[in-house]
Amino acid sequence: MPRLIVPLLLPLAAVACGSDAPDATTPGAQSGAAPSGPLPASCHSAYWPCVPRASDVDCARGPGDGPVFVRGPVEIITHDPYGLDDDRDGTGCDP
């Protein structure tokens, strides 16, 4: 099965999270500001910017087996259901 890698530093609108999805190019994302409104339903609410909802998501540079992979960094907003923050510093998929 091919691996799906979702780059978080590029616009994700066409990839996973819909045209209204915030991503690293959204104003405020560079400052680390969390979203002020709700994320699209296809984005997991525990992460910023958008991490798609899937059966499992892993960091592209890690040992995970997917099926979805993301490149970070990813801010952990509430909890870390996909285990993207190995060192528990609040940032997942550290470069």
Q: What is the domain partition of the chain in residue ranges?
A: 1-95
pLDDT tens digits, residue range 33-45?
555 666 678 999 9
- Distance (Å, rounded) from C-alpha 73 to C-alpha 30? 11
- pLDDT at position 40 is 76
Q: Give the pTM.
A: 0.63
- Say how far apart CA 49 and CA 7 lie, in whole Å: 11
The predicted-structure confidence for 29-88, as pLDDT tens digits, reads as follows: 333 455 566 667 899 999 999 999 999 999 998 899 999 999 999 999 999 999 999 999
Greater confidence, 95 or 79? 79
What's the angle, vertex CA 58, arms to CA 29 and CA 50, rounded to 5? 25
